[in-house]
Amino acid sequence: MRRLKCYTLGLNKPILAKVTHNTQKRKLRSDYVLLAKEKRLGNCKGYQAVIVEEARAEIYGEKLKNLPLIVVSDGLDELNEHDVVQIITNANELLIPYECQSPHNGLFLTSSCNSRCVMCPQKPKPDSEDRVRFNKRLIELIAPGPEYLTLSGGEPTLLGEQLIYLIEACRNKLPQTKLMLLTNGRKLKEISFVNKLARASQGYLAVAVALYADTDLEHDKIVGASGAFEEALKGCNNLALYGFQIEIRIVIMELNYMRLPQLADFIYRNLTYVSHIALMGLELQELAKENLEKIWIDPYQYQSQLLEACHLLLRRGFRVSIYNHQLCTIPQQLWPLSRKSISTWKNIYLPICEKCQEKPNCGGFFTSALTRHSEHILPINI
């Protein structure tokens, strides 16, 4: 998530609150931090804290009595009304777990996972804090909520009953929001759990299941867990039984690009109910970075497989999207399938991209592309 450098004065407990520029009614103020840009500062009683830019820190510092002050050196303009900010005591970072203006909001439910995917950009680890309580509060703060919200991890289904609890909370507090659960599908082999998911989500939950190959030989190797392929397919069938809208997500890497068309055909033959298929590029963080040489393939080199797979899927009536790719690396015919899928805070372009006509339509790079990117990045000028 986006982070801003900051320091705090008088802060003695963690903060999780909505940002406001305006004066709020007294009884609502405990949900807010006040972003003070005006010279004059009225009565601030009741807010969790006040955020100011560095230049005004001294002026305000004196006026605020028992109220913590958050001083942000740079990037205050990026905070919008009703964004949610978080500060962990003693930290010098202002975290922004929810950005109103972003189309890519999500709840990060857990850091732990039951798989060890070779290209994972977020190394699984046990959760150090109570993420369920945190997310419950976050759900309350973002109400009435965005149009779309992803539920991700780690592997969110590992939360079990607590995932059901959070989905119910979403249904109560964010009745208009469409939820998308990102999962490896393995725990969904338990039909009783899928039944609970269905009851809690009442049709407002789509599920994106990761599938990386058309056989267990390859899929299980990629995700580092034997039996994972069978479990994921069982999971998909269970989801279909309960009428979930199902998306399949395929990360393309050296280990699986050769059989993309075959994987597409496998999905058509065996998971006929799938509505959307996302073909995704690598994000080179953490495990992916450690395994770089094993997983890296220049997208330019799998153009023919990507084209064939997309063509096959489109003919058969699937919706297809390409995520995390640069337009100059994929066949031009597929440009209409490319989506700007990278969260704004970690979405970059290279200096060479400035000369490209298509930059506004291009998904660009993850910041991690500085580690490695395609050797075929070229400005497009038609």
Partner 1 sequence: MKNQKKYKFLPFNFMRLNGSTLVTNMGGDFQILSNETFDKFINYNICPTDSIYLDLKAKQFIYNNSPNLPIQLLATQYRTKKSFLRNFTGLHMVVVTIRCNQKCKYCQVSSEDSDANEYDMTPETAKKCVDLIFNTPSPYIKIEFQGGEPLLNFGVVKYIIEYAEEQNHKYDKKLEFVICTNLSSTNEEQLEFCKIHNIYISTSLDGPAKIHNQNRIMENKCGSYKEVIKGLQKAQSVLGKDKISALMTTTRASLGKFPEIVDEYISLGFNSIFFRSLNPYGMARKYQEIISYTTEEFVSSYCQGLDYIIDLNLEGTLFIEEYARLLFKRILTPFATGFVDLQSPTGAGIGGAIYDYDGRVFVADEGRMLARKGDTQFLMGHVDDGYKTLFGGDVIRQTVASSCVECLPQCCDCAFQIWCGADPVRNYTTQGDLIGYRPTNEFCKKNMALIKYLLKKIHNAHDEVLDVIWSWITGTCINLNNLSETAENK
Interface residues with partner 1 (CB under 8 A) are 214-218, 229-230, 233-234, 237, 258-259, 262, 266, 268-270, 272, 307, 311, 314-317, 319-321, 333-337, 339
Q: Between residues 103 and 203, which has the closer beta carbon with respect to partner 1? A: 103
Q: Least Å distance between CB 320 and partner 1?
A: 8
Q: Distance between CA atoms of 31 and 251, rounded to whole angstroms?
A: 39
For residues 47 and 67, the answer to whether their CB atoms sit within 8 Å is: yes
Q: How far is the CB of 125 from partner 1 (least distance, A)?
A: 31
- Closer to partner 1 by CB, 172 or 226: give it: 226
CA distance 130 to 143: 21
Which amino acid belongs to residue 74?
Answer: D
Q: Nearer to partner 1 by C-beta: 16 or 264?
A: 264
Beta strand residue intervals within 129-204, DSSP E: 148-152, 178-183
C-beta closer to partner 1: residue 101 or 272? 272
Bridging pattern class, strands 15-20 and 84-87:
antiparallel
* Residues sharing a CB contact under 8 Å with residue 191, sequence separation 6 or more, in sequence order: 238, 241
Whichever of 127 and 230 has its CB closer to partner 1, that residue is 230
Query: How far is the CA of 254 from the CAs of 262, 298, 379, in angstroms?
Result: 15, 9, 25
Nearer to partner 1, 189 or 373 (CB): 189
Minimal distance in Å, beta carbon 176 to partner 1? 18
Radius of gyration of the chain (CA): 23
Counting every residue, how long is the chain? Answer: 382
CB of 258 to partner 1, least distance (A): 7
Question: CB of residue 243 vs partner 1: minimum separation in angstroms?
Answer: 16
Distance CA 131, CA 137 (A): 10
Q: In the complex, what is the shortest distance from the CB of residue 266 to partner 1, in angstroms, rounded to a whole number?
A: 5
Smallest distance, Å, CB 55 to partner 1? 41
Retrieve residue 309's tokens: 């797979």
Q: In this complex, which beta carbon is closest to partner 1, that of residue 7 or of residue 335?
A: 335
Residue with tokens 């298509």: 358
Q: Indicate the residue among 143 and 314 with the shorter CB distance to partner 1.
A: 314
For residue 141, the minimal CB distance to partner 1 (Å) is: 27
Is residue 85 within 8 A of residue 95, CB to CB? The reply is yes
Contact 111, 287 (CB under 8 A): no
CB of 90 to partner 1, least distance (A): 41
Coil/strand/helix, residue 91: coil
DSSP string, 229-280: HHHHHHHHHHHHHTT-EEEEEEE--TTTGGGHHHHHHHHHHH-TT--EEEEE
> 89 or 270, CB closer to partner 1?
270
Q: Helix or strand or coil: residue 149?
A: strand
153 φ/ψ sector (left φ>0, alpha ψ -120 to 50, else beta): beta
